[in-house]
Structure 1
Amino acid sequence: MTRARRPAARTMTSRTTGLLLAALLPLLAAPAMAAKPVHNPVPGSNPLFRDKFTADPAPLVVGDTLYLYVGHDEAQRDEMFNMREWLVYSTTDMKHWTDHGPIMKVADFKWAKADAWASQAIEKDGKFWFYAAVEHDDTHPGKAIAVAVSDSPTGPFVDAKGSALVTNEMTPMGTHSWEDIDPTVFTDDDGTTWIAWGNRQCYIARLKPDMIEIDGEITEITPPHFEEGPWLHKRGDTYYLTYASLDRASHRDEKVSYATAPSIRGPWTYRGELTGSGKYSFTIHPGIAEFKGQWYLFLHNAALAIGDQNGSIGRRAVTVEYLQYNADGTMKPVVQTEAGVSVPPAR
């Protein structure tokens, strides 16, 4: 009797497999989201992207193309944030942009439960490494930093480690559970890659060559009025730490401030404010890149309205301005404009 049932069971399995394959083949053959041009009535003006709310811009230059990684906020009504995925855009002239769609969702990190917050991507050894802030599941409560990897700047990206690079337990000197956010990554001239991050406390650490492990100690380097959103870059012999700052004694909204150092290890010297606050926005987030001989500062504000939804704490919009330096290496103050880079920089 058992033998009589086995052929029937095999026939059913074969039929089921065939049906499943027939259903899956169209999905497997379906291409990824096609890149599409971004419509901006005045190319290069602010905000850069007007069909969705974007925040926390992070530029990456690869050859003759600048890629811009952003968070996508879908906050409704009175929601503060509703961020579940990261997007990437590209440009070759800083005025016309291509939308490559989502590169990754927070759900792709199986150990994370929410919040596709600020990120940055970096190229090293022929691969593209993506670092992002997320909310860890209950095994390690609090914010954490994830790392993903891809063979292309436009993805798809996959979890490179299978666990968090940084968890809240690794920074016991901090004061709150959301301090481990907003990673910035930077490769120095000797090939060593560093990561800095934080909220109210700013941390820095070296990465191992595998790019998925901390190498050595985590050091606190908190500059004056540091709030969040650090960004590391180098120009000439000077290292820059630019960040969202908040003087809680006298201001309600974040501005951008910066510090400089002769070495990635410091000491860091506070240089003051670089920008004022973003229009209508409590938060601001700097991203800096040199592209085709010109430096740029990416930010966000909350001036964009889409349909009946105005900008808000969550519903922000990415912007860009020219960035210029003084002869002594300090950065010239940047005024945020609607024109953005649609007009030549002032000299």
Structure 2
Amino acid sequence: MSATPIIRHKFTADPTAIVHQNKVFLFTGHDEPPPGVDDYVMHDWLCFSSSNLTDWQEYPSPLKATDFTWASGDAYASKVVFKDDWFYWFVAVTHQHIPGKAIGVAKALQPEGPYHDALGHALITGDMLPGKPGEKANLDPTVLIDDDGRSYICWGHQVCYFAELKNDFTGLASDISTISLPHFMEGSHLFKQNDWYYLLYGHGTPEQIGYAMSRDIHGPWEFKGFVCGPADNSETNRPATLEYEGRMLFFFHNGNLPGGGSHRRSVCLDELYFNADGTIQEVKM
């Protein structure tokens, strides 16, 4: 899947986006391995905005992994939502004291920040998960605020986890369950459209974007196929969607900038189209 990155002066990955005051605010991870290092090196997240989807204004980095005092670093994929006058940023980081990755929540009164730790501790840690989770189990949170105001979080690596959130995002309002999806790797993304719930995710290796649909947020989920094939020059992909001016935008990443690759990725943008039965037409670059 070949596409031109929309942010070209820095390596960006793992997009999430919202609309605020008629602008699209795009939040991304930030790949910055030093020369000669071929690994994930991510210390902070970035924020951009645009009113035409072509020209993007960059803001100072509004959040870094160590802004969570309980975290040792690693700014993995994230999700931003708006609720009750606050912008909430759900992120995956490495915990200092509890083995494995953890999910934290930061908040701000403006989309561009600055953000601060909303809880003072992790929202989800490895010791909360059912079964025998791997070290990377708590990756890539996605949050959906439903029409009735209830909120749900989905995340995971090789196992897809699901729970309801408390109304104020201070904790979980349900037990943690799992969703069975074929070849689930990571990169989950929830959204709702025309009474259908959609769960997009990284499928297999290299990751294609697969998706499932359900009439109920609690399932059952039915796998429907692929939104797109593997990203060009990147083993991973992480989708995000956003309805803006009557269009359903589709954000993802690839490795198409000069010097790019699986650890030096770049966020791209396309558009999603739906069939009459709600299924998604595959994105063809």
Smaller-chain TM-score bracket:
over 0.9
TM-score by length of 1: 0.80
In 1, Cα distance between equivalents of 2:179 and 2:19 = 27
Once the 2 structures are TM-superposed, how far is the Cα of residue 171 of structure 1 from its aligned partner? 0.9
Per-residue CA deviations over 1:38-86 (Å, capped at 9, x if unaligned) read: xxxxxxx820111110000011122411111101111122231110000
Partner of 2:226: 273
Partner of 1:232: 190
Asked whether the equivalents of residues 98 and 125 of structure 2 are also in contact (C-alpha less than 8 Å), the reply is yes
Asked whether the equivalents of residues 17 and 240 of structure 2 are also in contact (C-alpha less than 8 Å), the reply is yes
Partner of 1:340: none
Find out whether 1:119 has 2:78 as its counterpart.
yes
Asked whether the equivalents of residues 128 and 151 of structure 1 are also in contact (C-alpha less than 8 Å), the reply is yes
Alignment of 1:210-289 (within 5 A): 210-246=168-204, 252-289=205-242
Give the alignment partner of residue 94 of structure 1, picking from 27, 45, 53: 53
In 2, Cα distance between equivalents of 1:119 and 1:174 = 23
Find out whether 1:292 has 2:251 as its counterpart.
no
Alignment of 1:1-347 (within 5 A): 46-76=4-34, 77-137=36-96, 139-246=97-204, 252-305=205-258, 310-336=259-285
In 2, Cα distance between equivalents of 1:226 and 1:244 = 6
Asked whether the equivalents of residues 126 and 133 of structure 2 are also in contact (C-alpha less than 8 Å), the reply is no
In 1, Cα distance between equivalents of 2:38 and 2:102 = 22
In 2, Cα distance between equivalents of 1:116 and 1:212 = 21
Asked whether the equivalents of residues 130 and 176 of structure 2 are also in contact (C-alpha less than 8 Å), the reply is no
In 2, Cα distance between equivalents of 1:149 and 1:276 = 34
In 1, Cα distance between equivalents of 2:261 and 2:37 = 9
In 2, Cα distance between equivalents of 1:187 and 1:321 = 24
Aligned length in residues:
282
> Which structure has the larger Rg over C-alpha atoms?
1
Once the 2 structures are TM-superposed, how far is the Cα of residue 174 of structure 1 from its aligned partner? 4.3
| Amino acid of the structure 2 residue aligned with 1:183 | P
Q: Report which structure shows greater RCO (CA 8 Å, sep ≥6).
A: 2
SS of residue paired to 1:242: strand
Identity of aligned residues (%): 40
Once the 2 structures are TM-superposed, how far is the Cα of residue 314 of structure 1 from its aligned partner? 1.2
TM-score by length of 2: 0.97
- CA 1:220 to 1:66, structure 2 compared with 1: closer, same or farther past 3 Å? same
Per-residue CA deviations over 1:116-135 (Å, capped at 9, x if unaligned) read: 01011100001010000001
Asked whether the equivalents of residues 250 and 272 of structure 2 are also in contact (C-alpha less than 8 Å), the reply is yes
- CA 1:258 to 1:174, structure 2 compared with 1: closer, same or farther past 3 Å? farther
> More strand per residue: 1 or 2?
2
Asked whether the equivalents of residues 4 and 256 of structure 2 are also in contact (C-alpha less than 8 Å), the reply is no
> More helix per residue: 1 or 2?
1
Once the 2 structures are TM-superposed, how far is the Cα of residue 333 of structure 1 from its aligned partner? 0.2
| Amino acid of the structure 2 residue aligned with 1:335 | K
Asked whether the equivalents of residues 89 and 101 of structure 1 are also in contact (C-alpha less than 8 Å), the reply is no
Of residues 74-83 and 263-272 in structure 1, the stretch that sits farther from structure 2 once superposed is 74-83
Per-residue CA deviations over 1:185-243 (Å, capped at 9, x if unaligned) read: 11001001111100110111111111121112111013111110100000011000001
In 1, Cα distance between equivalents of 2:112 and 2:280 = 31
In 2, Cα distance between equivalents of 1:79 and 1:114 = 18
